[in-house]
Amino acid sequence: FREPKHERRPWRIWFLDTSKQAIGMLFIHFANVYLSDLTEEDPCSLYLINFLLDATLGMLLIYAGIRAVSSIVEWQQWESLRFGEYG
C-alpha cells in the first residue's frame, strides 16, 4: 500500500515479487543451518558472515547479472523475458 494508488501492482504480481524474496530467504536460512552443523563455529557468527557477504558482494553480483541479462534480452528483443513485466 506504499505505492501510489494508480501505480499499484495487482495482488498476483505482488505475490510473485514477494515470493521470490521469501524463497531466497528460506534458502539462505537452511543453508546456514546446514553449514553450522558442518563446523565447530558458532551458528550466529556464521549467519552474520553470510548475511554480510550476501548484502554486499551478493548484491553486486545480482546487479551485474541483471544488467547483463537485461542487455541480452533487449538486444534479442525477447519481450516475454523482461524483468518486472508479467503480461
Task: Give me the pLDDT at residue 42, please.
Answer: 77
pLDDT digits (tens, 9 = 90+) for 9-28: 888 888 888 898 889 888 88
37 close to 54: Cβ distance less than 8 angstroms = no
Q: Rounded to the nearest 10 degrees, what angle do helices 11-38 and 43-53 cross at?
A: 130
Amino acid residing at 32: N
pTM, rounded to two decimals: 0.57
What is residue 49's predicted lDDT score, i.e. its pLDDT? 83
